[in-house]
């Protein structure tokens, strides 16, 4: 079953993306029939498609996102931590990454959804990504607990 986004859910998503560090979106209005939201991003510029992968990574970093590397969905999935809540973001295809007015790569649209704390803790696959995203949001250094670190004077 396919479910179209409601106006309210779209507005919430756009506000979230802006708060998380994506490109601001200007709401223009609704179509005459009221079925579609009209939005624009007049400051956004099209990216050089040959540099897409690098620019997408920079746009994710600007939002303090962490790519969930082991997800096998055929797409990039990003963990974000915003206002004490874990979010997953995807749909970061070529049309959803642009340059802002300062020529910095930015996300202009994405699919986002919150993930409950219970689910995060029950899915080790994403737990480290969310812990890393939280550290980035608060400007802290992140050390992956799955990586063995020896004191400087010790050898294996």
pLDDT tens track for 117-149: 999 888 877 888 999 999 999 998 887 666 555
| Local structure of residue 147 (DSSP, 8 states) | S
Residue 64 located in a structural domain: yes
Instruction: Give me the residue label for tokens 């919150």.
Output: 114
Residue 144 located in a structural domain: no
Query: What is the C-alpha separation between 103 and 44, in angstroms, rounded?
Result: 9
Mean pLDDT score, 97-104: 90
Residue 125 located in a structural domain: yes
Residue 70 has what pLDDT?
65
Residue 98 located in a structural domain: yes
Residue 57 located in a structural domain: yes
Q: How many domains does the chain have?
A: 1
Q: Which of 38, 1, 22 lies closest to 111, judged by CA?
A: 22
Domain enclosing residue 126, as ranges: 44-137
Residue 109 located in a structural domain: yes
Residue 119 located in a structural domain: yes
Does the model's pTM come out above 0.85? no
Q: Which residues 6+ apart lie within 8 Å of 6 measured at CB?
A: none
Model confidence at 155: pLDDT above 60: no
Q: Are 79 and 126 in contact (CB under 8 A)?
A: yes
If 0-12 CB within 10 Å is exposed, 13-18 middle and 19+ buried, where does residue 4 land? exposed
Residue 31 located in a structural domain: no
Q: Are 60 and 132 in contact (CB under 8 A)?
A: no
Q: Are 108 and 22 in contact (CB under 8 A)?
A: yes
Q: Are 91 and 76 in contact (CB under 8 A)?
A: no
pLDDT digits 0-9 by tens, 24-81: 777 777 777 766 666 667 678 888 889 999 999 999 999 999 998 766 667 899 999 9
């Amino acid at each position: 079953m396919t479910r179209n986004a409601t106006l309210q859910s779209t507005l919430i998503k756009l506000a979230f993306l802006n708060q998380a560090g994506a490109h601001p979106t200007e709401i223009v209005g609704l179509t005459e029939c009221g079925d579609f939201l009209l939005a624009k991003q007049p400051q956004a510029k099209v990216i050089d498609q040959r540099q897409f992968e690098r620019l997408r990574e920079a746009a994710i970093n600007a939002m303090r996102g962490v790519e969930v590397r082991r997800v096998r969905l055929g797409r990039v999935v990003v963990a974000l931590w915003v206002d004490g809540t874990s979010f997953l973001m995807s749909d970061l295809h070529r049309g959803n990454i642009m340059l802002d007015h300062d020529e910095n790569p930015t996300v202009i649209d994405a699919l986002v959804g919150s993930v409950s704390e219970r689910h995060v803790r029950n899915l080790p696959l994403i737990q480290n990504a969310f812990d890393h995203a939280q550290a980035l949001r608060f400007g802290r250094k992140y050390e992956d607990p799955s990586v063995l670190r020896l004191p400087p004077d010790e050898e294996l």
